[in-house]
Structure 1
Amino acid sequence: MSLDVLALNCTLKHGNAASSTGRLLDEVMEAFKAQDASGCTIRVVDLDVKPGVSADEGPGDDWPDLRTRILAADIVVIGTPVWMGQPSSVAKRVLERMDAFISEADQHSRMPTHGKVAVVAVVGNEDGAHHCHAEIFQALNDIGFTIPMGGGTYWVGEAMGATDYKDLPEPAGKTRHTTRVLAANAAHLARLLKDAPYRGVAN
């Protein structure tokens, strides 16, 4: 059973600017290919995702189209850099817009994300990867995604250092292994959920 993966690159860098988050997400997507799962990466900062917590914030809002793609995927990857120990503002904007899923539950109390898997990739040259994972995992769980065992991968350089992940001559070994585990576990869980969807409960 092939799976569709959508990676959201929440870097602050626009266009084709080199992105450490992008490099790590490339490695994540490559690991998914070995699990018969494939898709694409979207750089969210290049879209006009309006502030708000509804499914559509009006004219010019690019969120409705992105929302459609998120809900069409079997696995969603949130990729974020660490800024001042926090997920990027772009990642937080994505999570804020997903808040609308909570009010869209069906008659069985299932949000539109039920049965979908989410994982997180974090990169930076400062501490904060575990904190970023904790924040994003909690939000993703609140809005209906299922998080697999080992559902996060990350790389952080030396504290207060100047080395970026994109500048490493080759992928970090432990990060590469963790990324492979993430992809294997996420694909396994996504297939289980497609075969046996959540039944939910009556409202």
Structure 2
Amino acid sequence: MDTIDFSGLKAMYVNCTLKRTPEISHTQGLMDVSIKIMEKEGVQVSQLRLVDYDVATGVYPDMTDYNWEKDDWPRLFKDIFDADILVIGTPIWLGEKSSVAQMLIERLYSMSGEKNKKGQYLYYGKVGGCVITGNEDGVKHCAMGLLYALQHIGYSVPPQADCGWLGEVGPGPSYLDKESNAAENDFTNRNTTFMTYNLMHLAKLLKENNGYPAYGNSRKDWDNGARWKFENPEYR
């Protein structure tokens, strides 16, 4: 079987648990499965737990410009944007992604109006996925919201870009608890592996081709009058 060199890639994993370090995060447990795969493939992996930082609520690049005394987002964003791949990890609460994950999406959105050198929206050429854990239904629902948001602001989403693990509904063993036997769940392990490799494959393709061509999708060119093959519809 042929091997592929992924060593030129960078990935950032953002854990959106509600628990501050050093509390155990079951979401981190599943994220670590994906992280180990990437590291073994030579990808440079960084990670952060968003709740450990003073990230202000808002949809602007720096909320200290809007009456917040402190906002760690501008410096965290530099590390996130430096990565070719972004993987968001979140637990499920009441069927939804965590409030921290929603904050991350909002702060990523705050930068989405910026442009790259081609005049495209800033996140063009970057790849996104998500990891979800919980003891209640909602993996696909949470993934749907996260992946939609990522692609909407410019991230590319490959096939099978999410993975998750669910324990018994209600109080019970979570992912890292031995009695859950989660580490032996073939469905979760398969999806986590496929997600990880699909993220790397797409990121490698985009990086080697310098992202997307700017033909037909450059906001800068559109504002300068380019319309390519677009024509206003005729109403009769």
Sort the TM-score into its range (normalised by shorter chain).
over 0.9
Aligned length: 203
Instruction: State the distance in 2 between where 1:31 and 1:63 align.
Output: 28
Matching residue's letter, 1:149: P
Instruction: State the distance in 2 between where 1:11 and 1:61 align.
Output: 19
In the alignment, which of 82, 94, 112 is matched to residue 84 of structure 1?
94
* Pairing 1:56-71 to 2, within 5 Å after superposition: 56-58=62-64, 59-71=69-81
* Pairing 1:134-149 to 2, within 5 Å after superposition: 134-149=144-159
Number of the residue aligned with 1:104: 114
Number of the residue aligned with 2:130: 120
Contact 1:31–1:179 (8 Å) recurs in 2: no
In the alignment, which of 46, 51, 57 is matched to residue 52 of structure 2?
46
Q: How has the CA–CA distance of structure 1 residues 107 and 69 changed in structure 2, closer, same or farther, with 3 Å as cutoff? A: closer
Following superposition, the deviation at residue 143 of structure 1 comes to 1.1
Instruction: State the distance in 1 between where 2:196 and 2:164 align.
Output: 13
Contact 1:85–1:127 (8 Å) recurs in 2: yes
Following superposition, the deviation at residue 100 of structure 1 comes to 1.9
Answer with 25-34 or 136-145: which moved more. Answer: 25-34
Instruction: State the distance in 2 between where 1:69 and 1:54 align.
Output: 17
TM-score of the aligned structures, taking structure 2 as reference length: 0.82
Q: How has the CA–CA distance of structure 1 residues 107 and 8 changed in structure 2, closer, same or farther, with 3 Å as cutoff? A: closer
Contact 2:12–2:47 (8 Å) recurs in 1: yes
Instruction: State the distance in 2 between where 1:153 and 1:92 align.
Output: 18
Structure 1 stretches (4+) deviating beyond 3 angstroms? 106-109
Unaligned runs of 5+ in 2: 1-5, 223-236
**What is the CA RMSD across the aligned residues, in angstroms?**
1.5
Unaligned runs of 5+ in 1: none
Largest Rg, 1 or 2: 2
Instruction: State the distance in 1 between where 2:48 and 2:10 align.
Output: 14
Matching residue's letter, 1:41: Q
In the alignment, which of 33, 37, 52 is matched to residue 39 of structure 2?
33
Could you give the per-residue CA deviations for residues 83-138 of structure 1, whole angstroms, max 9, x where no partner exists? 00000000000000111233213475522211111110000000000000000011
Instruction: State the distance in 1 between where 2:26 and 2:116 align.
Output: 38
TM-score of the aligned structures, taking structure 1 as reference length: 0.94
